[in-house]
Amino acid sequence: MVMSVRHCDIAILGGGLAGGLVALALRQARPELDLVLVEQGETIGGNHVWSFFGTDVNKAGRELLDGMVVAAWPEYTVRFPRYERRLKTSYYSISSHRFDKVVRQRLGEASIMTGVRALACSSTNATLSDGTRLEAKGVIDARGLRNVTDLTGGWQKFVGRRFRLSTPHGLEAPIVKDATVEQIDGYRFVYSLPFTADEIFVEDTYYSDGPALDADAIRARIDAYVAAKGWHVAEVLEEEQGVLPVVAGGNFDAFWRASGGPVARAGVRAGLFQAVTSYSLPDAVKYALALARQQDLSGEALAQFSEYWAREHWAQSAYLRQLSALLFAGAEPDKRYRVLERFYSLRHGLIERFYAGKTTVFDKARILAGKPPLPITRALGVLTGLGARPKPLTLAGTPR
């Protein structure tokens, strides 16, 4: 294969959510930079629906996401065996199709390489599968998780299907969690987004001990759920699936070493996601904006910045990892829903702050106070480290 060389200021490897947002933030802050965004798929962002609460993203973040939101609602619903609750917090969804369109418009096709994979990289260069060698002042690796064996916890697994219905569904607001369904393979809930009067996205999600995903079985459960609601499917428009880590603990130093050498990282490759929900969009937005504010964009400086940011995120997430540990080691799989059932009975402001990453000391105490939704001796064992512990994570059997 003939090697060609392409020079640029910044090379971003991985055109998923994190890589795309970093590219957009840099283009917005430093339009003079020559950027190259490399994605192994044919589209930027893959095939996903990302959602976030209005309180998760600040004004600068909203500006970065401008044009990407395909649906917005002023409130949302959660359903559990003991109650149903409507919460007046705005909720937004972004589709990967719209994300791809916006990134291409703002970056320009000359800055995007799709259908090509990064084989190796350093802080200043990358070798691609088509024989191209990128020579850059700085490289940012946003290619997703590489190794999680140094972390403990469980998995969030899901299959989502977008339907066009023959009659209106009648749903006014998203159902972010419907845990009234049969509890299978851990904590299970169904997630419904009413995009239009006759179009709905339904996702079946599991908080499980292992990463194995039986997509056929979950599709059948989604179809049964839709039929039980009286929704008549005219067409399946698209489908997505995923397996995400829910981190309860681990060795950050070992995780960082295993995910690459002294190269800047972004997104889940840097461990930047919420430890309980696995949501990555709010962290991806904050990180992209912070990185774009850096004056020194050399490979070495970017690597130092990304490691510092990731370590700070890990330190600040200690309480969330403790909650994940309670979920996976403190509760029997079919009783895990009780932890979330109790959480959603708390004050509205506390719930908003939790998702926005602004949990106060009082909030933390309130979440753990009162009658626990799981055996007290088991919970205390998890919290003190003297009882059951979450299992090490492994990517074996995880779909690519």
The conformation of residue 334, written as its DSSP 8-state character, comes to: G
pLDDT for res 259:
85
pTM of the model: 0.92
Could you tell me if 81 and 341 are in contact, meaning their C-beta atoms sit under 8 angstroms apart? yes
Residue 3 banded pLDDT, cuts 50, 70, 90: confident
pLDDT for res 373:
58
Could you tell me if 204 and 159 are in contact, meaning their C-beta atoms sit under 8 angstroms apart? yes
pLDDT of 395 > 80? The answer is no
The CB density around residue 391, as the number of other CB atoms within 10 Å, is 14
Q: What is the pLDDT of residues 128-159, one digit of tens each?
A: 999 999 999 999 999 988 888 899 999 999 99
Q: What is the pLDDT of residues 329-352, one digit of tens each?
A: 878 899 999 999 999 999 999 999
Over range 276-303, report the average pLDDT.
96
pLDDT for res 389:
58
pLDDT for res 383:
44
Q: What residues have CB less than 8 Å from 203, skipping those under 6 apart? A: 49, 158, 159, 160, 161, 190, 191, 192, 222
Domain ranges of the chain: 5-68+94-149+250-315, 152-247, 318-384
pLDDT for res 394:
62
Over range 62-83, report the average pLDDT.
97
The CA-atom distances, in angstroms, between 177 and each of 182, 268, 289, 338, 378 are 13, 23, 30, 13, 26
Architecture of domain 152-247: 2-Layer Sandwich (3.30)
The conformation of residue 21, written as its DSSP 8-state character, comes to: H
- 3-state DSSP call for residue 188? strand
pLDDT for res 377:
44
Over range 55-60, report the average pLDDT.
96
CATH homologous superfamily of 5-68+94-149+250-315 equals: FAD/NAD(P)-binding domain (3.50.50.60)
Q: Give me 289's structure tokens.
A: 């904006």
Q: What is the pLDDT of residues 229-279, one digit of tens each?
A: 999 999 999 999 999 999 999 999 999 999 888 999 999 999 999 999 999
The conformation of residue 267, written as its DSSP 8-state character, comes to: G
